[in-house]
Amino acid sequence: MDSFVYKNGKLFAEGVDVETIAAEVGTPVYIYSKATFLDHLKKIQTAYADIDTTVCYSVKACGNINILRSLAEAGSGFDIVSGGELFRAQQAGADMSKIVFAGVGKTDKEILEALNAGIGYFNIESEPELENLIALCKKHGKTTKAALRVNPDIKYDSHKHITTGVKETKFGVDIERAIKVYDQYAANGVVEMSAIHVHLGSGGKTITPYVEYVKKVMPLVDALRSKGHTIDTLDLGGGYGADYESGTVPSAIDYASGIVPLLKAANLKLILEPGKSIIANAGIMLTRVVFKKTSGEKTFVIVDAGMNDLIRPCLYEAFHFIWPAQVDERFMPQKRMKALKVDGAEVVDIVGPICEGTDFFAKKRAMPPVARDDLVAVFTAGAYGYTMASNYNARPMCPEVLVDGDQYTVIRKRQTYEDLVELEK
């Protein structure tokens, strides 16, 4: 379910006209639909209900504590990659036993914070990290659980910057080395190494690579068990595709249909770490047209949002469907598509005000004609949108708004110029 729909030519977030939000809080602004992200979470929980599954939402995708609180209340755990994300999860009232801590460079301070919080698992990325975790547990009288991250060396269709499951990556250890790691470290007495973690990266659009890496890991599980190691859990990470274009990714049920039978046969519990597939379509970035200009044969739509607000298009060459917030009947969009051809549309570059040539949201994109002050929505912006924003060009970061039915709440205020310099005084 995607609760951003056009009614009588106007874009609504659930029961709220987005123009109403813009009039109160200004633009640019991130707007989230609570019903959408809770629906996506529920679909994942239901799809994997046949086996013991812990869904750990990836905080890095969108970490506003108000959103995390709603997810925690709906039964979600959390995947974290820093001490700051641990703190966010704590502030949101998360169940610490349903926290998994990933990342290749966990500091001693972060590890101790997580140990003291009593998190569920550490995802171990290297032998030196495991040695350090064992040493810290012994020094401070702590025990914990760990999943060793292994690279199944499976390539699939994704951007080079977000592919992580191959060899020669900073993440995890080669699958061939995993048995030696368990043989050397499993009997350490303080860190229970009862799980395997795998993660292909982000942006998957078919279930095949995920099924392949489960099948590739199963011989490792069998080999470890045959040597007396207890392996009871498989952490399959995240990276499941989000519907940036309508109908281009499998559903949660599709993924589960290929994965659940394999894990059930192996008597393995499951940890999932979805981010995009829960929050991406639950958010839009609303921006306003500042100017429209022609240069040579190009037409530019210049908006008040910049790459500091949403960096994915220039960083990952990512596609976001972009459409005006108010359109006449001719331009009512039925799908989010890259090439949505409509009579009367203009082909434009949609760009921001940042002093960088890479500051764009779309190039050579067909969209309905817009004019100065028109509102434009950048769809599927809930994941890696605000969370990757910055103050580049000394631009205050924009507000976040959460819609619940016909009500909306500002869940993060817009920064002021004073906020920009407060920590420098």
Q: Bigger pLDDT: 205 or 353?
A: 353
Strand partners, 234: 196, 270
pLDDT of residue 330: 87
Higher-confidence position of 161 and 125: 125
CA–CA gap between residue 43 and residue 372 (Å, rounded) = 40
**Domains of the chain and any CATH numbers:** 4-32+280-424 (2.40.37.10), 34-278 (3.20.20.10)
Sign of CA dihedral 186, 191, 195, 197: negative
Give me 126's structure tokens. Answer: 């290297």
pLDDT digits (tens, 9 = 90+) for 54-113: 999 999 999 999 999 999 999 999 999 999 999 999 999 999 999 999 999 999 999 999
List the beta strands (DSSP E) in 38-103. 53-58, 77-80, 99-101
CA torsion sign for 299, 302, 308, 309 is negative
98 vs 106: CA distance, rounded Å: 19
Residue 374 corresponds to which tokens in the numbers above? 């028109």
Q: Which residues are catalytic?
A: 355
Is residue 121 scored above 60 in pLDDT? yes
pLDDT, tens only, 214-269 = 998 999 999 999 999 999 999 999 888 888 888 888 999 999 999 999 999 999 99
SS3 assignment, position 68:
helix
Tell whether the model's pLDDT for residue 162 goes beyond 70. Answer: no
Q: Encode burial over 81-114: b for 16+ CB neighbours within 10 A, e otherwise.
A: bbbebbebbbebebbbebbbbbbeebeeebbbbb
Of 55-64, 71-80, 156-165, 369-378, give the lowest mean pLDDT range.
Answer: 156-165
Q: What is the mean pLDDT of residues 316-331?
A: 93
More confident residue, 241 or 53: 53
Q: What is the pLDDT of residue 286?
A: 98
- Amino acid identity of residue 368, one-letter, is P
d(CA 251, CA 206): 10
What's the pLDDT at 244? 87
Torsion of CA 262, 263, 264, 268, to 10 degrees: 160
Rounded to an integer, what distance in angstroms lies between the CA atom of residue 351 and that of residue 359?
Answer: 6
Q: How far apart are CA 223 and CA 229, in angstroms?
A: 9
Mean pLDDT of 343-366: 95
